[in-house]
């Protein structure tokens, strides 16, 4: 994100984004596709419990002006999108003085798992119920994924089940490998 530098402050260059996932593996044929989307701009918006500065409820996610707004905790929302769209949304939304907005792009990793068997693959490493009735498109939840506290968002792509997974960036390669391993058995299974 580009923010104006107050007068008198030292200007520092915008750090180049580097993903914590350094080794990507090819998905087995037919298995859910796992991609690294860590470079998405992520902004955490925090307010008091009960407030709804972005009009999105806890455990729900909705897309507005290209930005995915996620009610990730009772008092926290996450904005996901490209930098310009997120910045525009923040600039056009009126916030109370007590609402904080923090860019957490560099502290969180983001993986996307897409495919008809992606729910089955996730259920191997997470205790949440990913059935369509319990976790439909636009649902969010937080749980342990392969022993790592993670945030999960159902964000279908072209009517195909797709899940975004966010966690601390230091777990990047481990989490990528664990989920990639979970998807391997679903190769060449279409339904």
**Least distance to other proteins, CB of residue 128, Å:** 9
Q: What is the DSSP string of 107-157?
A: TEEEEEEESTTHHHHHHTTB-S---TTTS-TTBEEEEEETTEEEEEEE--B
**Least distance to other proteins, CB of residue 130, Å:** 14
Which of 15, 50 has the CB closer to other proteins?
A: 50
Is residue 58 a contact residue for other proteins (CB under 8 A)? yes
Torsions phi, psi of 148, nearest 5? Answer: -115, 125
Query: Contact at 8 Å (CB) between 14 and 2?
Result: yes
**Least distance to other proteins, CB of residue 140, Å:** 11
Residue 45's closest CA among 110, 109, 90, 106?
90
> What is the 3-state composition of the chain as percent helix, strand, coil, each rounded to the nearest 5?
20, 35, 50
Is residue 141 a contact residue for other proteins (CB under 8 A)? yes
Query: Which among 95-103, 106-114, 140-148, 170-178 is the span making contact with other proteins, rule CB under 8 A?
Result: 140-148
Sheet holding 76-81, edge to edge: 61-64, 67-73, 76-81, 41-46, 100-103
Which of 48, 84 has the CB closer to other proteins?
A: 48
Q: Three-class SS of residue 180?
A: helix
**Least distance to other proteins, CB of residue 146, Å:** 12
The site string for other proteins over 69-88 (x = CB under 8 A, - otherwise) reads ----xx--------------
Residue 140 to residue 155: CA distance in whole angstroms: 9
> What number of H helices and E strands is found in the chain?
3, 10
**Least distance to other proteins, CB of residue 59, Å:** 8
The site string for other proteins over 110-129 (x = CB under 8 A, - otherwise) reads -----------------x--
Query: Which among 19-27, 28-36, 138-146, 172-180 is the span making contact with other proteins, rule CB under 8 A?
Result: 138-146
Residues lying near other proteins in the complex (CB under 8 A): 58-59, 73-74, 127, 141-144, 149-150
């Amino acid at each position: 994100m580009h923010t104006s530098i107050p007068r008198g402050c030292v200007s520092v260059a915008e750090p180049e984004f580097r993903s914590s996932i350094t080794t990507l593996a090819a998905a087995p044929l037919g298995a859910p596709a796992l991609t690294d989307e860590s470079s998405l701009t992520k902004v955490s918006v925090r307010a008091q419990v009960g407030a709804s500065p972005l009009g999105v409820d806890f455990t729900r996610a909705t897309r507005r002006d290209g930005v995915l707004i996620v009610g990730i905790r009772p008092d926290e929302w996450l904005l996901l999108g490209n930098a310009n769209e997120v910045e525009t949304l923040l600039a056009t939304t009126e916030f109370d003085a007590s609402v904080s907005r923090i860019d957490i792009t560099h502290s969180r990793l983001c993986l996307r798992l897409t495919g008809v068997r992606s729910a089955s693959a996730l259920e191997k490493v997470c205790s949440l119920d990913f059935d369509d009735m319990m976790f439909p498109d636009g649902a969010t939840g937080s749980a342990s994924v392969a022993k790592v506290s993670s945030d999960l968002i159902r964000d279908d792509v072209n009517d195909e089940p797709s899940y975004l997974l966010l966690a601390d960036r230091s777990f990047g390669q481990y989490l990528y490998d664990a989920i990639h391993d979970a998807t391997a058995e679903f190769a060449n299974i279409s339904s």
